[in-house]
Amino acid sequence: MNRPLGNLAHLAERIDLAAAFRWTARLNMHEAVANHFSLAVNDDGTRFLMNPNARHFARIRASDILEIDANDPKTMDRPDAPDPTAWGLHGAVHRACPHARCVMHVHSIHATVLASLADSRLPPIDQNTAMFYGRHVIDGSYGGMAFEEEGARCASMLRNPKVKTMIMGNHGVLIIGDSVADTFNRLYYFERAAETYIRALQTGQPLRVLSDEIAEKTAREWEAYPDSATAHLSELKAILDSEGSDYAH
């Protein structure tokens, strides 16, 4: 097993995040050296781990990940200061939403296509899209890049713990969850769901939309499904380990 040396704080959490960064890049869901993931490491969620500024997801290691205090006004004065939009968005979410233990924001292709439509709703047309039934919010008031004011506005839309996905109109997607595994799994399935919907629209044929009753039943069944998110991330780490990846260093 490829495991790190040293005595870093929150080592297991760092390893999980690093694996999520690596796999997001492998799935081409990243964007240059933009986009960010964060993970709360204290009870009220205001201290969090996050990727360093301008580092490609495909190169991030556990030891590279920053630890940040959302309540520290001098954060952007640090020599290793994070990207200002990462600080604006993730800092705001971790301050306002203690239930958002992990936050993942990307501009993945199909999620961003959906966010660019005049109607950005994701209808329940299959099992994967039904996962998000009644559990996503659409931000239709994009106000520019997510510096502190825009980040706070976005965070205010995530106060309902049932809502774990924000379709950021004209922007991308933001996913929250209880852990790296939970959040990455949801991020993965949202991109798959958005792709299914976009491809279905491209056929020009009528959609077969699930009833509200079946869509809600399926969403709850997803939520109760045993250990799927944990198993998903565990398998991804096993693949990276077998390839000799340095993500856990």
Residue 6 in domain: no
Residue 248 in domain: no
Strands 47-50 and 66-69: antiparallel
Query: How far, in Å, CA of 115 to CA of 94, rounded?
Result: 23
The verdict on pTM exceeding 0.85 is yes
Q: Which tens digits make up the pLDDT trace of 105-117? A: 999 999 999 999 9
Q: What residues make up the domain containing 106?
A: 11-242
What CATH number corresponds to the domain at position 51? Answer: 3.40.225.10
Return mean pLDDT, the chain. Answer: 95
* 66: three-class secondary structure by DSSP: strand
pLDDT for 1: 40
Query: How far, in Å, CA of 51 to CA of 60, rounded?
Result: 7
Q: Which tens digits make up the pLDDT trace of 10-59? A: 999 999 999 999 999 999 999 999 999 999 999 999 999 999 999 999 99
Residue 136 in domain: yes
Q: Which tens digits make up the pLDDT trace of 122-169? A: 999 999 999 999 999 999 999 998 898 999 999 999 999 999 999 999
Q: How many domains, in total, are found in the chain? A: 1
